[in-house]
Amino acid sequence: MTQRNVWKRLMMVVAILMIGSLVLAACGDDNDDADPTNTSGTGQSGATSTTGAAGEATATEAMADDATPTGGDDEEPMDLGDLSGEINIDGSSTVFPISQAVAEEFNAEAPDVNITVGASGTGGGFKKFCAGDTDISNASRPIKDEEAAICEENGIEFTELQVAIDGLSVVVNPANDWVNCITTEQLNTIWMPESTVDTWSDVDPSWPDEAIELYGPGTDSGTFDYFTEEINGEGGASRSDYTASEDDNVLVQGVSGDETAMGYFGYAYYVENRDSLKVLAIDGGEGCVEPTPETVASGTYAPLSRPIFVYVSHQAMERPEVAAFAEFMVSDIAQEIIPEVGYVTMDDTALEEQRAKIESMMP
């Protein structure tokens, strides 16, 4: 064999070995990507995934692992950073701070999703939702039968998700030094439809003969429905000569700016403005109880502790951005946000029930 032929054969052996090395390296990379024991918690774009209470993958992780841009089985997996589109949310001003804060956190991982959060009141939100104009409806009360009927007529299927617990708060101006606790009977005397109360002394002769300036939610508000049901015995039954607004910030400004004022709204708005408001303890027959995270969670702040909700359209859930956001609403991240905005988280059992609902809706 000539030296030239030896050299040619040697070069062929080297080439074969190099090709074999490349094949083995590629296989090794595939195995690393598919490693089921990989618990780094970070997707390809660096987005952090969340886990449920028992450490199992939640639907957000499932969305990151399973969703594809076109729905095909052979496409690359999508993480939250791959999402785009729009999500329209409206409804309760009470739930608004939760949805807004969760939307901001969600956008940190999915910046190309445009999320609009409105606050037209629970009733106003359901009007839009049942017309198919929104994807998610914030609600501080359960949907009414007549509202659900309109959704059904329009082919809108939905699922109710509890997101937190609220302690509906009765507040006065900090200059008010004559009342710290009020009974449900006194609240009824003030707020019932046929009320003749004009001054504080009309409620209790020991209180000053000063006019009561009243501030409260408008009739489209779920808080209005809940308060009137619990205090006046019928949802919607209320005196009408008060300053009404679906925007709780307007009510905060009214009470904080008037020394003889009284108003009511969601606990988060008191927490956010506690320096300019005074919250009253409520005596529902078992003594005076002030709203706190503990009394609201236990239900001892009665009868004004209540669950608050979002309603999710099944049709909208077919879009990956809505499905991912709905799961995000009951994720561990959301549970950290809820106390920060002034509401109380659910217990583990209730939270897992909401996560199971999300899983059942996943396309």
C-alpha–C-alpha distance, residues 309 and 166, integer Å: 10
CA angle at residue 346 from 223 to 299, to 5 degrees?
A: 60
Instruction: Give 244-261 pLDDT, tens digit per residue.
Output: 999 999 999 999 999 999
Determine the pLDDT at residue 217.
97
Of 50, 95, 19, give the one whose Cα is nearest residue 332.
Answer: 50
Token pair 């009404």 is found at 244
Nearest residue to 322 (alpha-carbon basis) of 159, 148, 165, 154:
159
Poorest-pLDDT segment among 1-5, 153-157, 317-321, 326-330: 1-5
In this structure, which amino acid lies at residue 100? Q
Whole-prediction pTM: 0.76
pLDDT band at residue 362 using 50, 70 and 90 as cut-offs: confident
Mean pLDDT computed over 295-307: 97
Q: How far apart are CA 3 and CA 1, in angstroms?
A: 7
Report the DSSP beta bridge partners of residue 264.
170
For range 50-65, the mean pLDDT: 34
SS3 track for the chain: CCHHHHHHHHHHHHHHHHHHHHHHHHHHHHHHHCCCCCCCCECCCCCECCECCCCCECHHHHHHHHCCCCCCCCCCCCCHHHCCEEEEEEECCCCHHHHHHHHHHHHHHCCCEEEEECCCCHHHHHHHHHCCCCCEEEECCCCCHHHHHHHHHCCCCEEEEEEEEEECEEEECCCCCCCCEEEHHHHHHHHCCCCCCCEHHHCCCCCCCCECEEEEECCCCHHHHHHHHHHHCCCCCCCCCCEEECCHHHHHHHHHCCCCEEEEECHHHHHHCCCCCEECEEECCCCEECCCHHHHHHCCCCCCEEEEEEEEECCHHHCHHHHHHHHHHCCHHHHHHHHHHCCECCCHHHHHHHHHHHHHHCC
Side by side, which strands form the sheet with 136-139?
A: 113-117, 85-91, 136-139, 305-313, 158-167
Q: Is the peptide bond before 174 cis (omega within 30 degrees of 0)?
A: no
CB 45 within 8 Å of CB 328: no
What pLDDT, on the 0 to 100 scale, is given for residue 135? 98
Per the model's pLDDT, the better-predicted residue between 304 and 7 turns out to be 304
- Per-residue pLDDT tens over the stretch 87-141: 999 999 999 999 999 999 999 999 999 999 999 999 999 999 999 999 999 999 9
Sign of the four-CA dihedral 123, 124, 126, 127: positive
Exposed e or buried b per residue across 150-180, where buried means at least 16 C-beta atoms within 10 angstroms of its C-beta: bbeeeebebbbbbbbbbbbbbbbbeebeebe
